[in-house]
Structure 1
């Protein structure tokens, strides 16, 4: 990256490029939706961004001005993850993560999400991994119990041969025990408020 007369990296150009990138990605994400349409969507969500501001983002003439609140509300209005506006062109498109540091969009997303070990607390990637695993187990447990409940209601036999029931509860509890050992982990122990047992002959 070129230097200015003081020998310092032109961070203002880098900052403006972030805003241009977000504006371009937001414009692409809304397809044929107008600036007024997007403004109305942000107002419905409780944080109005004017059509004028959105038009400036569209044209790349907003300078370096883009608040975190604006990024989040635009992403919510467009129903896309905010990080895809910051770092579009996944996975291999190039972005300048910090002044002078160019890498792929995927690498930037992993850094932003705390999945990159570089510079992150050593426990953060593990916490993210366990959190995703726990979430997947909970979804699977709910699907299994809903299926078993439907089978029981129809009077179908539920046994280890016809339906090999998986003990998701134990798996989830084990994950939660590991999560408790990680500094800063904050979560509510999952409460199983769906059927976990069935009439005799159905479990």
Structure 2
């Protein structure tokens, strides 16, 4: 918090929290900044973040995006990765990426089937190439759908 408030005083921050309707005493702010107080409530976190003009996640994991931070004991990540983990976005991001991959494979499969139908009387080797292509898409699609089920 000290870094975020810059040259402004702890009293200034206390006054800002009061204006937001949830006054946090200057002593509480100072003790938190100096490590004498090791926890704050969620409400205090949100009010302090608003008073400082930053998202609450910035108080949990300072230095977004690149700063190194300890998420859990023996689990260090960048502040951005920590924020994604905390918000659940890393799981959502995985699910979104898998859904996009599935959609792309379905489009590719439709394209392969269209080419396969247009070849009709083409030489056997080209037909086999298209069949192999289609099978490869089916295999990839099955893998993506399995991962999607595992993510749920």
TM-score exceeds 0.5: yes
Among 59, 66, 69, which residue is 1:95 paired with?
Answer: 69
Task: Please give the alpha-carbon distance, in whole angstroms, between the structure 2 residues aligned to 1:48 and 1:116.
Answer: 34
Task: Please give the alpha-carbon distance, in whole angstroms, between the structure 2 residues aligned to 1:121 and 1:96.
Answer: 21
Please report the RMSD computed on the Cα atoms of aligned residues, expressed in angstroms. Answer: 2.0
* 1:53 partnered with 2:28: yes
Structure of larger gyration radius: 2
> Aligned pairs, how many?
97
Structure 1 unpaired stretches of 5+ = 1-25, 127-203
Local SS of the residue matching 2:21? coil
Instruction: Provide the residue aligned with 2:42 in structure 1.
Output: 68
TM-score between the two structures when normalised by the length of structure 1: 0.44
Instruction: Provide the residue aligned with 1:42 in structure 2.
Output: 17
Task: Please give the alpha-carbon distance, in whole angstroms, between the structure 1 residues aligned to 2:24 and 2:11.
Answer: 9
Higher relative contact order (CA 8 A, sep 6+): 1
Local SS of the residue matching 2:69? strand
Structure 1 residue runs of 4 or more that deviate by more than 2 Å after TM superposition: 120-123
Local SS of the residue matching 1:116? helix
Instruction: Provide the residue aligned with 1:106 in structure 2.
Output: 80
| Post-superposition offset of 1:99 | 2.1
Structure 2 unpaired stretches of 5+ = 98-152
| Post-superposition offset of 1:42 | 0.4
Q: Larger % of helix: which?
A: 2
TM-score between the two structures when normalised by the length of structure 2: 0.58
